[in-house]
Structure 1
Amino acid sequence: MLDESIYNWFSLEWFTPSAFKSFDWAHFFVFYAIPLVILLFLLKWLIGTKVKQKLPVALPKRDIEKHWTGYLRIIPNLLKALALLMLLIALARPQRTNEMVEQWSEGIDIALLIDISESMQIEDFQPNRLDAAKATARDFIAGRNQDRIGLVIFSGDAYSLSPLTTDYELLYKFIEEEIDFNKIENRGTAIGSAIAVGTNRMRESDAASKVMILLTDGDNTAGNIDPITAAELASAYDIKIYTICVGKEGKVPYGKDFFGRTNYVENTVDESNLREIAKIGSGQFYRVSDNAALQNVFDMIDEYEKAEIKETRYKNTTDFYPIYLKWGILFFLMFMLTKSTFISNILED
């Protein structure tokens, strides 16, 4: 690993491709000057060859031979070019930045109350009301971020399937394997009991916001607590209640007869109770008649009940231009030394 200490500036690792790729360049535009520097060196060489004084010497061609010392003439110019290149790299200001982002939110506690009564088998949703509700609940949970979510199922009785948790994988498992029509023996729709069980789960919560989402397709026909009373109790604990009534009015498909033909039953729902529950709970009432409408409602609730996510960013920037500046000074000093030594003098003679 490349040592980033400026005290190891003399390491050749600073000139490897991996080193240059790791940098952020504060003034990258400086590199556009490199072609200009090359052009200036070429012009200097061309002009020098034209105007430099020449002394004609008559020698037979066989007596003229190249000597290795002739190549020493390029050393001063090479050192000067390297010094300029190092200066340009330093001016481009190579940096490395370590950024840490810390996010947090006050969080929301959400209780999903799902009706599993027999009427949830009606097939005006695909494949039926309960399976549509389960799929939408999974999508809703997947869209949350560190909110605690609990599950309550109800039919003739209400049952807390999962406490408030951020273990979303556990919630998915409960939805897939535990929510079905046979989970509760007693038949009916105990809406009041479901709200009471949800309230009991959330009453000691100190979350910034507490939300209950009640999904059902019927009227309250069971349980030992009135839904309005249960809603008032939830409101006393500052729990907001959204109520969703699923199902179409009129004839709806419900199973098949002996010959495989679709059976139809008459479906009616008194919305007044659910509207009143939402009003008491300072939430909203929704009526949905298909899968898409149900998904849209959960999307709206998801948008309404977003916790404010706060973040703090920490930046630690280290400059590495001193490394290339030191190399530039070194090359420049070497250039000055060679300019005053036999190397330059020999080649000028």
Structure 2
Amino acid sequence: MHFLLPPSLFEFGIFSVFALFLLLNWRKVYIIEKRYPFLHYNRRAFLFKSVLRLLTISCVIVALLAPFKKIVQEEVSADNHHMYLLVDLSNSMRVQDTPPGRFERTKYTLSQIIQQTNGSYCIILFTNEALIYCPLTHDKEAILDLYIPPMTFGLTSGGGSNISQAYALAMENVKKNHKEGVKNSIICFSDWESSELPAASLFREATLYNLSFYQVVVGSVTGEYIPWQGGVLKKDGRAVISKAIPENANKLCNKLTDCRVYQIAPEVDDTATLIRNINENSTTITNRQHIATDNIYHMPLLLAILFLILDLSFPLPLIHFKR
């Protein structure tokens, strides 16, 4: 509760005069009982009425101070931006050519995106199959604490990389979750070794959903051997070398509108540029706050009237003869 007028000597004076008046009444009771021993004053009744009258005048004084309460109407700042983060968990993402490794670097970049952008996030993992690992949510803490740290290989079946299926699942959720005025983005992390890219027909309605694409190529173009069970992965008796192929990401971008390619490798790191571009494409609701006041002086006045009615309703016999 707030007061429009601060307490002044006037209010304190009123209360003091009234309290003094009650004390003088108590003194009169004492004098009457001493002077006329055959009379008895009902002190409990007098005390009850005195308390009611003190409460009455206190409520009147509070009403004079013009009490009010603040009503804060606030629109929380939020970005109407749905981001679908596609993460490649194929065996080639085990390569450590980009310290501390392609997959670990991807997890780190995911954390940076979530920390430095605003919106809602959905994480889709894919190998030969794709699945929703984290449903669309704006709860950053849950994603950073509960989803990203335990993310690891083996959550999806197979060791290949089916980017087409991942994009199909992402587009399905874009259509399902889209609302008017919402910005949608698909951000795909992969080494892009797979040459089986999504068909252009999958993105025919992309402009209807205000959709942007960010293809992130993780790994070096020179490549390294794929770690596997204490050694390296072999195929037909030969150690397999995995190389990042930015050309495949560019091929997909050529089929799309509003698409960009970024690289995370030992020689280049486009993470800062990626985050800046995401923020530039966000549609933000500005934080608005409105403070209104609601006068509540009538509440202490109603209490004062209630106490006054109680005082008048109990005409207690204050003086009687001693037996």
1:185 aligns with 2:160: no
Q: Which residue does 1:109 correspond to in 2?
A: 82
Partner of residue 194, structure 1: 166
TM-score for both structures, normalised by structure 2? 0.59
SS of equivalent residue, structure 2 residue 157: coil
Q: Which amino acid aligns with 1:141?
A: I
| Distance in structure 2 (CA, Å) of the matches to 1:257 and 1:7 | 77
More strand by share: 2
Identity %: 18
- Classify 1:285/1:185 alpha carbon distance in 2 versus 1 (closer, same or farther; 3 Å): same
- Does structure 1 retain, via aligned residues, the 8 Å contact 2:107–2:148? yes
Aligned to 1:148: 120
Superposed displacement of residue 5, structure 1: 4.6
Count the aligned residue pairs. Answer: 227
CA contact (8 A) 2:88 2:189 kept: yes
**Matches of 1:227 and 1:245 in 2, distance apart?**
19
Q: How far off is 1:288 after superposition? A: 2.5
Equivalent AA in structure 2 for residue 166 of structure 1: H
Question: Which structure 1 residue ranges, 5 or more long, are not aligned?
Answer: 14-96, 318-349
What is the CA distance between 1:176 and its match in structure 2?
A: 1.6
- Higher relative CO (CA 8 A, sep ≥ 6), structure 1 or 2? 2
C-alpha contact (below 8 Å) 2:124/2:130 kept by paired residues:
yes
Aligned to 2:3, the other structure's residue is in SS state: coil
**SS across alignment from 2:185:** strand
Q: Which has the higher helix share?
A: 1
Assess, with a 3 A threshold, how the Cα gap between structure 1 residues 190 and 168 changes in structure 2: closer, same or farther.
Answer: same
Give me the CA root mean square deviation: 3.6
- Other-structure match for 1:275: 250
The match for 1:39 is: none
Alignment of 1:1-349 (within 5 A): 4-6=3-5, 8-10=7-9, 102-105=75-78, 107-145=80-118, 147-172=119-144, 173-177=146-150, 179-204=151-176, 205-206=178-179, 207-220=181-194, 226-232=198-204, 234-235=206-207, 237-252=209-224, 254-255=226-227, 266-279=241-254, 280-290=256-266, 293-314=269-290
Counterpart-to-counterpart distance in 1, 2:228 and 2:168: 36
CA shift in 2, pair 1:126/1:234, >3 Å: same
- The one-letter code sitting in structure 2 at the alignment partner of 1:135 is Y
Amino acid at match of 1:114: V
The separation in 2 between residues aligned to 1:134 and 1:106, in whole angstroms, is 22
Displacement after TM superposition at 1:130 (Å):
0.7
Tell me: CA distance 1:143–1:258, structure 2 relative to 1, closer, same or farther (3 Å).
closer
* 2-structure distance, mates of 1:102, 1:231: 34
Per the TM alignment, residue 233 of structure 1 is displaced from its structure 2 partner at its CA by 5.4
Partners of 1:231 and 1:281 within 8 A in 2 = no
Contact 1:193 1:230 (C-alpha < 8 Å) held by counterparts = no
Please name the residue that 2:22 is paired with.
none
Which secondary structure does the structure 2 equivalent of 1:180 belong to? Answer: coil
**TM-score, normalization: structure 1?**
0.55
Q: Distance in 2 between matches of 1:244 and 1:259?
A: 28
In 2, Cα distance between the equivalents of 1:233 and 1:98?
A: 44
- C-alpha spacing 1:231/1:244, structure 2 compared with 1 (3 Å): farther
Contact 2:98 2:220 in 1 (8 A): no
Higher Cα Rg, which structure: 1
Q: Distance in 1 between matches of 2:205 and 2:75?
A: 38
Deviation at 1:111, TM superposition (A): 0.3
